A and B are shown apart, each in its own frame.
Chain A
C-alpha cells in the first residue's frame, strides 16, 4: 500500500514485459500442482489484459502496478502452501514409523512391555521420547511455515502428554504414581502450558480458522472420549464387545486402516475447504466407528462418541453455511474499468 507517487513500490518503466513477468512469477510457484500454477498465472495475465484494455492506463503503468515478480511469487507461494505433499509425508511417515521404532528400541533394552504397569521404564521412556519427537516435528512445521504440520504435531504431543500425565497420576498433586515426582510434575505442567500456548499462537496466526481449530482439537477430544469411556468401563457401567469393533473381513479392515491416511491426505493436500472437512470427518469416523460397534449396549459411551462425530459435522455445517450465505442482498456492481 502506498500513496500515489510515493517511492516504496517499484514504478520503474524498465521492468519486464508481460511474458517475462509471468515467467518470473512461475519460477516462484514451483512445487505447486500444475493446475494451481496455471490458475494463479491466468489471474495475473487477466489482470494485465484488463489494464491493457483500459484507456486510462498506459502499458508502462500496467506493468509498474504489478509490483516486483519476486514479491508476487513469494506472496502467492506463502499462501498456497507449496510442497503440501512433503507436509503430508512429515505427518504420515513419523506416525507410522517412528513410534513403533521407539517401542522396538526400548523393548530391546527393557524387554517386553507390560501395558498396565505405569511405572515400567518402557512406558516412562516411551512417552517422553514420543513427546520429544512430537515437539521436534512441530518445530519442523514451524520452520516450514506450515500451520497444518505444526498443529498436527502439537496436538499429537499434547495428546501424548495428557495421557502420560493421567497415567502417572500427575493431575492428583501429592499422589503421583511415580516416586520423586513433584518437581517432574511441575516440569510437565510447564511443558503442558508451553505446548498449549504454542498451539494457541499458531491458531491465532490463522485467525482461529475453524478447520484448523477442529483439526487441533480432534486428538484432544479423542483423548477425552477415550478417558471417559475408560471411566465408564471401570465403574462397571458398560461391557465391551471389543471383538465386534470392526465387523469386516481382512480386506475391509485394510480399507478401514486406510481411512486415517485418506482423511489426513485430504486435509493436507486439498486447498478447498469442503474436501478438507471431509478429510477431518473421515479421521473422526476412523476413531468413532469401532467404539460405536464395541459399546453398543452403553448409552453413555455411544453418546460420547456420537457427540464427537456430531461436533465435527456441526463445525463443518457452520463453516459451510457461513460461506454459502455469500452475496445475498448485495447488488453486483458493474466493472469500474471498461471491458
Chain B
C-alpha cells in the first residue's frame, strides 16, 4: 500500500465525521456526499464505511436511529455526537498542522535546487 493510500485509510474516521458534522445521514448518503465533496477523489466502499460507522457509534462519536418509510426499506440514520464534534475538531487541527508542515517541508526541499540554479 502506498504512503498516500495509508494516509487515506488513516483519515477514514475524520472524513466520515466531517460529513456527519453537516447533518444526519444514512450510509449510502454519506458515501455519495463524500464523493461529491471531494469531486470524486475520495470514494469508500461499503465494507469500509459500515464497520467504521459502527465503530464511531460504539466509541460514542456518532449515534444512529432507524427510520421506517413506506414503499422502501427502513434506513439507519447517523448523527455526530458532541464527543464526535470534539474529536473532529482535534483531528482537523492535527491534519491542518501535518499538511502545513508537510507542504512547507516539501517547498523547502525544492527551494535549494531553485536557488542553486543560475
Name A's B-contacting residues (CB within 8 A).
1-4, 6, 8-9, 39-40, 42-47, 49-51, 53-54, 65-69, 71-72, 75-76, 78-80, 206-207, 209-210, 271, 273, 319, 322-323, 325-327, 330-333, 335-337, 339
- Does residue B59 face the partner (Cβ distance < 8 Å to A)? yes
Give chain B interface residues in 40-99, CB to chain A under 8 Å: 40-48, 50-52, 54-55, 58-60, 63, 66, 72-76, 79-83
Name, among B15, B29, B40, the residue most crowded by chain A CB atoms within 10 Å (CB to CB): B29
* Contact between chains at B48 and A1 (CB < 8 Å): yes
* Contact between chains at A78 and B51 (CB < 8 Å): yes
8 Å CB contact of B47 from A71, A327, A332, A337: A71
Known A2-B43, A72-B46; further 15 A-B contacts with Cβ < 8 A: A1-B12, A39-B76, A46-B28, A46-B73, A47-B46, A54-B28, A65-B46, A66-B45, A75-B50, A75-B51, A76-B54, A322-B81, A330-B21, A336-B32, A337-B29
8 Å CB contact of B40 from A4, A9, A330, A331: A4
- 7 A-B pairs whose Cβ atoms sit less than 8 Å apart in the complex: A2-B5, A2-B43, A2-B44, A46-B28, A50-B29, A335-B25, A335-B29
* Contact between chains at B26 and A75 (CB < 8 Å): no
Nearest 10 Cβ contacts at the A-B interface: A67-B47, A75-B51, A67-B45, A333-B23, A50-B28, A72-B47, A1-B8, A71-B47, A336-B32, A46-B73
Name B's A-contacting residues (CB within 8 A).
1, 5, 8-9, 11-12, 15, 21-29, 31-33, 35-36, 40-48, 50-52, 54-55, 58-60, 63, 66, 72-76, 79-83
Number of A-B contacts (CB under 8 A): 143
